[in-house]
Amino acid sequence: MDALRTENLTKIFKRFTAVDRLTLSVPAGGIFGLVGPDGAGKTTVMRLLAAVMIPTAGEAWVLGHHSVREAERIKERIGYMSQRFGLYEDLTVIENINFYSDIYGVTAGRRRETVRELLSFSGLEAFQKRRAGDLSGGMKQKLGLACALVHRPALLLLDEPTNGVDPVSRRDFWRILYRLLAEGVTIVVSTAYLDEAERCGRIGLMHKGRLLATGTPADVKRLMKETILEVRATVPRRAAAVLKDAMGSEAVSLFGDKVHVATDVPGKDTEMVAELLRKERIEVGDIRPVEPELEDVFVSVLAKDRENGIHG
């Protein structure tokens, strides 16, 4: 059974198309990642799925309910955490959780057990009486998640939940998501972090409102036909700049202290890369083919999209 399904879902703001004919299905019981840069349309998709926004065209069904005709039924059964989740900063942690319990109509008997579980689950037990405004960014995200879970939703929609959060808090947040997954909650998370996309069971790559590719991270990586050459050089940033000038910016990416070069002719381009860097007196340690990263695939898919003239 699909947790959600869309058919040609479209949202237009005046002359701007935020979501362009999105057709997607997400099976129940996994983590689906909606992946793309800022402006890709991820937030608008989340709002459409959460039934807080009406589409311009197309349709969506969430947990079997139509997003327009049965919007209230959807809101009762999902947990939705927007980028700016509505925490009340003057209220304490426990007061925020109780407030959302009231909104969702959680009964007093069930609330006691649920609140205790959520505090333990999120690591907020020691912070119950702390004002939300005094929490760190990572703790605010955990409190936002706890508030979204008070009514035990079947589907969780998380819009860039770790944006701007430190790496340790991001890791802790994902540990919580995996525990929810083990309890049978379906999770849809949007993110601009490609390393987080690797944590999802299935992903969809979005750009300028369009869905470019879907599948498991391994499936999506197989869409890339070019070979990736990993270049190790003494000055990787300068090496990347030299190679971009010679080979084009879409073929070359900087990955930490390494440079990735996408090529259809790895043997020939290995020699060319070495020669280009030698001419610039950049010492090369190693050039070898490697498995593509999702970032390599995303850059490649965007390049092909532009070649097809879809986005000019």
pLDDT in tens, 268-296: 999 999 999 999 999 998 999 999 988 88
The predicted-structure confidence for 59-109, as pLDDT tens digits, reads as follows 999 999 999 999 999 999 999 998 876 789 999 999 999 999 998 889 888
Distance CA 161, CA 174 (A): 10
Q: What is the mean pLDDT of residues 36-60?
A: 96
Q: In which band, very low, low, confident or very high, does the pLDDT at 301 lie, cut at 50, 70 and 90?
A: confident
Residue 255 near residue 242, CB atoms below 8 Å: no
Buried b (16+ CB within 10 A) or exposed e, 25-40: ebeeebbbbbbbeeeb
First to last CA, the chain: 38
Task: Find the helix or strand (DSSP H, E) in which 247 lies.
Answer: helix 236-247
Lowest mean pLDDT among 21-25, 29-33, 48-52, 305-309: 305-309
What's the Rg (C-alpha) of the chain? 22
Q: What is the mean pLDDT of residues 150-160?
A: 94
Half-sphere exposure of 170 (CA within 13 A, CB side): 14
Distance CA 286, CA 33 (A): 34
pLDDT at 167 over 90: no
So what's the pLDDT on residue 306? 64
Q: What is the mean pLDDT of residues 205-223?
A: 92
Q: In which band, very low, low, confident or very high, does the pLDDT at 223 lie, cut at 50, 70 and 90?
A: confident
Q: What is the mean pLDDT of residues 32-47?
A: 94
More confident residue, 165 or 58: 58
More confident residue, 81 or 311: 81
Neighbours of 5 (CB within 10 A): 16
So what's the pLDDT on residue 56? 98
pLDDT at 220 over 60: yes
Domain 2-221 has CATH 2.60.40.3710: no
So what's the pLDDT on residue 310? 44
Residue 54 near residue 10, CB atoms below 8 Å: no
Q: What is the mean pLDDT of residues 118-147?
A: 91
Tokens of 306: 């532009």
Long-range contacts of 280-283 (CB under 8 A, 24+ apart): 280/238, 280/242, 282/233, 282/234, 282/235, 282/238, 282/239, 282/242, 283/233, 283/234
Tokens of 172: 């802790």
Domain 227-291 has CATH 3.40.50: no
Q: In which band, very low, low, confident or very high, does the pLDDT at 309 lie, cut at 50, 70 and 90?
A: low
For the CA atoms of 65, 70, 145, 104, what is the dihedral angle to 10 degrees?
Answer: -130
Q: In which band, very low, low, confident or very high, does the pLDDT at 312 lie, cut at 50, 70 and 90?
A: very low
Residues above pLDDT 90, as percent of the chain = 69
Parts of the chain belonging to CATH 3.40.50.300: 2-221
**Mean of the per-residue pLDDT values for the chain?**
91
Residue 239 near residue 258, CB atoms below 8 Å: no
What residues contact residue 161 under an 8 Å CB cut-off, 6+ apart? 81, 141, 144, 145, 173, 189
Q: Whole-prediction pTM value?
A: 0.86
Q: What is the mean pLDDT of residues 140-150?
A: 91
Residue 98 near residue 105, CB atoms below 8 Å: no
So what's the pLDDT on residue 163? 85
So what's the pLDDT on residue 83? 82
Parts of the chain belonging to CATH 3.30.70: 227-291
